[in-house]
Amino acid sequence: MQSIQIIDSHTGGEPTRLVLEGGPDLGEGPLEERLERFRTQYDQWRSAIVNEPRGSDAMVGALLCKPHRPGCDAGVIFFNNVGYLGMCGHGTIGLVASLAHLGRLQPGGLQIDTPVGAVQVDLHDGGEITIASIPSYRKASIVVDVPGIGPVAGEVAWGGNWFFLVEQHGQVIEVSRAEALTDFCWRVRQAVNAQGFPEVDHVELFVSAGSAGAHSRNFVLCPGKAYDRSPCGTGTSAKLACLAADGKLAAGQDWVQESLIGSQFTGRYRWLDRSKGEIAPTITGRAHVMAQGALQLDPHDPFCWGIRQ
């Protein structure tokens, strides 16, 4: 029987399962190479950790590893019910809250290595966590013809993962409509992929905020058809890049992004390269530890390696 030491948290309702010990040994080297090794040689571990019956479609796994980039204090590889993520904002906030809970981290700064770059994180005295995330930019503004829906205008943007962001969609963004929103976004994603953007694996819809103090409410469909319960850190970074490109939000100003279930992140940016539309986003939020323990991998369990999708 193998044991995997884990700690579970949620960030604005979105779960993160941090693997502390007992996960696959991916060796040394850059995290993008280790991610590839995870994908090609150890993918059953991903499924065992986050898929049912131990996990759920919404759960994001975070494998804590040794960093490779100079100056980083820790490394992490994120994964979900169907594959791997370049970066994960809510997951990074969950990672920091979990390390703080374990007493491995005091308020202050930390540099985290990810497969798509280094992320500076700050744990504030009151428990809030700020991540200075991956440089973000808008790649294209396009209109896609979605079968059964019609033309949908949106923006392809990078925020550590690839997003298609849509403002004009005619959808009511309420939690009771999660299934209908999932269906809508899934069709949009397929049309975007077919129209020359195969890299886009998240679709993000926006409406005006439901709560005072927030600027916008979103619905984010993740690659494995689960919606993000949090406002999505990388999705908010992509949104900030689009707002910056359109001159709708000045550098240094707060953007409070609300999720489908009403949880909030505060985003802000500074310009990295205005001519290329490249920004450095920061995202602030909170996470709460929910459970700590060990997953047991029983070789006699027919679903030991999870229910794969």
Q: Which of 115, 233, 267, 281 binds ligand PYC (CB under 6 A)?
A: 233
Query: Exposed, middle or buried by CB within 10 Å (0-12, 13-18, 19+), for 116?
Result: buried
Q: Applying CB under 6 A, does 242 fall inside the site for ligand PYC?
A: no
- Pick between residue 75 and residue 297 the one whose CB is nearest to ligand PYC: 75
Q: Which of 6, 26, 50, 88 binds ligand PYC (CB under 6 A)?
A: 88
Cβ contacts of residue 113 below 8 Å, gap of 6+?
31, 67, 68, 69, 72, 74, 75, 76
Count residues contacting ligand PYC (CB under 6 A)? 13
Residue 75: left (phi > 0), alpha (psi -120 to 50), or beta? Answer: beta
Site for ligand PYC in 246-305 (CB under 6 A): none
Task: Provide the annotated active-site residues.
Answer: 88, 232
**Residues paired with residue 136 on neighbouring β-strands, in sequence order:** 279
Rounded-to-integer distance, Cα 206 and Cα 173, Å: 8
Rounded-to-integer distance, Cα 194 and Cα 178, Å: 24
- Pick between residue 85 and residue 123 the one whose CB is nearest to ligand PYC: 85
**Residues paired with residue 278 on neighbouring β-strands, in sequence order:** 273
Number of residues assigned to the chain: 309
Q: Binding marks (x or -) toward ligand PYC, 57..76, rule CB under 6 A?
A: ---x----------------
Question: Both tokens of residue 283?
Answer: 């995202």
Q: Binding marks (x or -) toward ligand PYC, 6..25, rule CB under 6 A?
A: --------x-----------
CA angle 187, 188, 192 (to 5 degrees): 120
Q: Applying CB under 6 A, does 90 fall inside the site for ligand PYC?
A: yes
Q: Applying CB under 6 A, does 230 fall inside the site for ligand PYC?
A: yes
* Interface segment toward ligand PYC; rule CB under 6 A; list 139-147, 169-177, 228-236, 293-301: 228-236
Rounded-to-integer distance, Cα 245 and Cα 218, Å: 19
Element (H, E) at 188: helix 178-194
- Pick between residue 235 and residue 297 the one whose CB is nearest to ligand PYC: 235
- Pick between residue 4 and residue 85 the one whose CB is nearest to ligand PYC: 85
Residues of the shown chain interacting with ligand PYC in the complex, contacts defined by CB under 6 A: 14, 60, 85, 88-90, 161, 222, 228, 230, 232-234
